[in-house]
Amino acid sequence: MHDQGMPPVGKRDPATAFTYFVKGAARNHPCCYFELSRIYAEGELVKKDPKLQFHYLNRSASEGFVSAQHLLGIAYAEGKLCKRNDKLSLAWFRQAIRNGNAASYLNAGDLLSMDR
């Protein structure tokens, strides 16, 4: 709510949102892990940190957050946040597909059709 300025907050307050995401992550909330990953990727509120971005993305995906599963598949396919690993990429795309992420079908298909 603070991140987006939703009522009852009224105005956008990213610093407060960050504090709540950290508290939520301490309680193992996958959405909070995902938001922390986004924050470390953007580098506006905190310094960009690809290692923390990947760490929180991985935690979110492991806890079942579907968007994180899809993005982790992309991360392994591209090899930008981590070492490229097609097997792990496909595994995360398949997990995201099982959880209803339609875009992962396309990414998995592209990955399977490549000769790497």
**CB contact burial 27-51 (16+ within 10 A = b; e otherwise):** eebbebbbbbbbbbbeeeeeeeeee
Query: Is 57 a member of any domain?
Result: yes
Quick one: pLDDT at residue 115?
Answer: 67
Residue 5 confidence (pLDDT) above 60: no
**Residue 63 sits in a domain of what CATH number?**
1.25.40.10
Residue 8 lies in a domain: no
Mean pLDDT of 10-17: 83
Residue 47 domain-assigned? yes
CA distance 27 to 80: 29
Domain membership of residue 25 (yes or no) is yes
Residue 34 lies in a domain: yes
For residue 100, is it within any domain? yes
Residue 105 lies in a domain: yes
pLDDT digits (tens, 9 = 90+) for 16-27: 999 999 999 999
Q: Say if 1 falls within a structural domain.
A: no
Range of the domain at 38: 14-113
pLDDT in tens, 55-104: 999 999 999 999 999 999 999 999 999 999 999 999 999 999 999 999 99
Packing angle, helices 66-78 and 50-62, rounded to 10? 130
- Structural domains of the chain, count: 1
What does DSSP assign to residue 64?
T
